[in-house]
Structure 1
Amino acid sequence: MRAHLYTDWRSIPSEARGAAAALGNFDGVHLGHAHLVHTLHLSEPDKPLAVVTFEPHPRELFRPEDPPFRLTLADERFAALAALGVQHVFQIAFDEDFSRMPAERFIDDVLHDALGVKHIACGHDFAFGYRRGGTTSFLAERASELGIGVSLVPALADADGPYSSTRIRRLLQDGYPERAANELGRPWSIRGEVCHGDKRGRLLGFPTANVHLGRHLEPARGVYTTTVRLPDGRTRDGVANIGRRPTIVDGSESRMEVHIFDFSEDLYGQTISVALHDLLRPEKKFESLDALKQQIATDTQQARLLLQNRRNSQ
């Protein structure tokens, strides 16, 4: 069943009302989020499955000076939720006015009146409303008064504790994309538009598609094995460098440069998704362009072998 995205909570069609909805930011849509959604569906199988989330992430509004931290942007999050079987995604614009909405009004005006949800589910640490004044106990009490069922779902955990977006961010920043993938349920991807670079990769014999990280979290800087999803849905193996390219420029902005194996098509201006699998090595400044070229050839050979071995073991 096709998922539907709604970005104006004040104008929800009748066919989207009456849903069972999970509440949260859902950054990354990791296994803990999947557990919440599946638990809700098992408890309310006869109701349409929905998610109530926010864009931008509240932290982006309250702490704009923070470095980018997002695991998934809005379109990636929607696709991941749709893959979980969510039918309706209510994506609420989190702006200054909405941030000042009292907790009771969020329940009354948004969840009950506007969205018409019949059951809601969230984690025990969910907080909402102006200055996060709404607790789960208040949510359960007020929702019950309005005839809305409430499920407080314990967090999914392993030996290291609860699955969380914070934990996955730390794994990526520490250089463990494969461990992050285990907690996400899929490889972590960076999605963005291919932009023009300085053509140095082409001169070195390894042309690259350049993608700015934008609002994505910056993972550990270095060279990664990757799988690239092209705009038409095809996938290709590749190797990517994420960082500031210290051998070529002393830049202050990190970017991703991905060399797609056996590929020569023009991708400028198109959007690709690059999944990270293994960190081959950290970023390094080389003594010369020839030394860099030799290392890129070694990285490419190693990446091809690792990706082929990964495919054979699946």
Structure 2
Amino acid sequence: MRLLGPTEPTPGGGILTMGTFDGVHRGHQALISTARAWADQHTSYVEVWVFDPHPRSVLRGQAVPLLTTFSERASLLHEAGADFVRKVPFTLELAALPAETFVQEWIVRLSRPRGLVLGYDHRFGQGRGGSAQLVRQMGIPVQEVPPLIEGDSPISSSRIRQLILQGHLQEAHKLLGRPFGLRGTVRKGQGLARKLGVPTANLPWPEGKLRPVAGIYAGWAHLHSPCPAVLYLPPKGDLEVHLLDFEQDLYEKPVQVSFLAFLRPHADFSDEAALRRQILEDVEAVRRYFEERSF
């Protein structure tokens, strides 16, 4: 997979899809899968445009906590089948372009695609005037992908955000197609957990990424293979990860973490002894969680 500059042209003749793709959930994966199948019919490639920052944050001035950072999205899009990923800076000026101008000056000039794959509700350009019908009228074939329904409603990034904030991680997992998680590089913490006999790997929480409810979670730490872990997310600051039955130093190493289940909310403790007792209880709770399930 290759990352493209905002205005870097591609060879032409590929299959293009575009959107925000926050979370790269199962609905997004259906878009990429459709594009991949179409591209393979013509021995071509899949190009994905990711609008960043989130359009709502630009158009409405509302911060949108993201399920995935751009680097996480790019990696997940590659896993889903993308060959090229272009980060398109979303600005008020871009949003104000007439839809026909966007097609000519961006889509045609930069990509010259064989075809375009769009979600069922995708709109673009000034006043959201751009649609699959307009693109077809301008001579580019389009495949529209219908919504992916789970339960009674379409899978969407906003629906998944609400589930995570409510602690419903298993339901979010079902819509994402994988657990909600974080990728980062371990950095040094204050050393309190190590002093209490339960060392942790500290992962910085990316700015702008959705932050679940503060507390204790059961999860995976993905190294060469998944390792059961106690995840402690404080009200602010780094995610602290204690890997069960693991003693290697992870400082400055990349780690991917998956949130599996919310166990208890954050609590303050009057002294270190009480804190240590609770930490040991949390460790045992996570052990039981994994013992009671087959992964």
Do both share a fold (TM > 0.5)? Answer: yes
1:126 equivalent in structure 2:
122
Where does 1:20-99 land on structure 2 (aligned, <5 Å)? 20-42=15-37, 45-46=41-42, 47-62=44-59, 66=63, 69-95=65-91, 97-99=93-95
> Mean alpha-carbon deviation: is it higher for 98-107 or for 210-219?
98-107
The one-letter code sitting in structure 1 at the alignment partner of 2:231 is A
Q: Is the 8 A contact 1:190 1:216 kept in 2?
A: no
Deviation at 1:261, TM superposition (A): 2.1
Q: Is the 8 A contact 2:10 2:110 kept in 1?
A: no
- TM-score, normalising length: structure 1: 0.84
1:7 equivalent in structure 2:
5
Where does 1:246-257 land on structure 2 (aligned, <5 Å)? 253-257=236-240
Q: Is the 8 A contact 1:51 1:86 kept in 2?
A: yes
Q: Distance in 2 between matches of 1:146 and 1:172?
A: 41
Q: Distance in 2 between matches of 1:118 and 1:204?
A: 60
Q: Is the 8 A contact 1:27 1:165 kept in 2?
A: yes
3-state secondary structure, aligned to 1:195: coil
Deviation at 1:116, TM superposition (A): 1.2
User: Which digits, 9 at most, give the CA deviation of each residue in 1:108-142, with x for residues without a partner?
Assistant: 11111111112112123212224x53332xx422x
Aligned counterpart for 1:285 among listed residues 265, 268, 273: 268
Where does 1:161-176 land on structure 2 (aligned, <5 Å)? 161-176=153-168
Q: Distance in 2 between matches of 1:285 and 1:27?
A: 33
The one-letter code sitting in structure 2 at the alignment partner of 1:224 is Y
Q: Distance in 2 between matches of 1:82 and 1:276?
A: 22
Aligned counterpart for 1:276 among listed residues 248, 255, 259: 259
**C-alpha spacing 1:192/1:154, structure 2 compared with 1 (3 Å):** same
Q: Percent of counterpart pairs with the same letter?
A: 32
Aligned counterpart for 1:197 among listed residues 189, 198, 204: 189
Q: Distance in 2 between matches of 1:266 and 1:124?
A: 48
- TM-score, normalising length: structure 2: 0.89
1:158 partnered with 2:154 = no
Task: Structure 2 unaligned segments of length 5 or more: list them.
Answer: none
Cα RMSD over matched residues? 2.3
Q: Is the 8 A contact 1:201 1:208 kept in 2?
A: yes
Q: Matched residue pairs, number?
A: 292
Deviation at 1:175, TM superposition (A): 0.5
**C-alpha spacing 1:37/1:210, structure 2 compared with 1 (3 Å):** same
Q: Distance in 2 between matches of 1:289 and 1:74?
A: 39
**C-alpha spacing 1:103/1:297, structure 2 compared with 1 (3 Å):** same
1:101 partnered with 2:93 = no
Q: Distance in 2 between matches of 1:38 and 1:82?
A: 11
The one-letter code sitting in structure 2 at the alignment partner of 1:75 is S
2:234 equivalent in structure 1:
243
User: Which digits, 9 at most, give the CA deviation of each residue in 1:151-207, with x for residues without a partner?
Assistant: 222211122300000111011100111211111111111122323322111111111
Q: Is the 8 A contact 1:195 1:268 kept in 2?
A: yes
The one-letter code sitting in structure 2 at the alignment partner of 1:54 is F
3-state secondary structure, aligned to 1:175: coil
Q: Distance in 1 between matches of 2:3 and 2:81?
A: 13
Q: Distance in 2 between matches of 1:118 and 1:52?
A: 15
**C-alpha spacing 1:53/1:281, structure 2 compared with 1 (3 Å):** same
1:210 equivalent in structure 2:
202
Task: Structure 1 unaligned segments of length 5 or more: list them.
Answer: 245-252
Aligned counterpart for 2:108 among listed residues 97, 100, 112: 112
Q: Distance in 1 between matches of 2:55 and 2:186?
A: 28
Q: Is the 8 A contact 2:59 2:92 kept in 1?
A: no
The one-letter code sitting in structure 2 at the alignment partner of 1:87 is D
> Mean alpha-carbon deviation: is it higher for 278-287 or for 175-184?
278-287
> Mean alpha-carbon deviation: is it higher for 28-37 or for 208-217?
208-217
